Amino acid sequence: MASRKTNASKSSEEHEDMDVEHIAAALGRVKNPAVRYFLSMMIDALTEDLAEIEAGRPPRLLTRSRSN
């Protein structure tokens, strides 16, 4: 069982790295700086909410406002 769990977590880490690389590449293709900034802020907010969910707390994306 232990080796199966280790393999699953290793695969998950590799998958996360690949996701980050894909997101970075996609943001690099966006030419409009305002759109790039907006997408970066949304990715940041979603990442924060994912951390909240993983910690067992409710996400805040729908209840907060980003004025900047």
Q: 52 near 60, Cβ under 8 Å?
A: yes
d(CA 57, CA 50): 10
The answer to which of 12-16, 23-27, 39-43, 47-51 has the lowest mean pLDDT is 12-16
pLDDT of 31 reads 95
What does the pLDDT average to over 56-68? 68
Q: Which of 36, 60, 38, 35 is nearest to 47 (CA)?
A: 60
What does the pLDDT average to over 6-25? 67
Confidence at 21, pLDDT banded by 50, 70, 90: confident
Average model confidence (pLDDT) across the chain: 76
What does the pLDDT average to over 13-35? 84
- Cα–chain center distance at 68: 20
What does the pLDDT average to over 51-63? 82
How far does the chain reach from its first CA to its final CA, in angstroms? 48
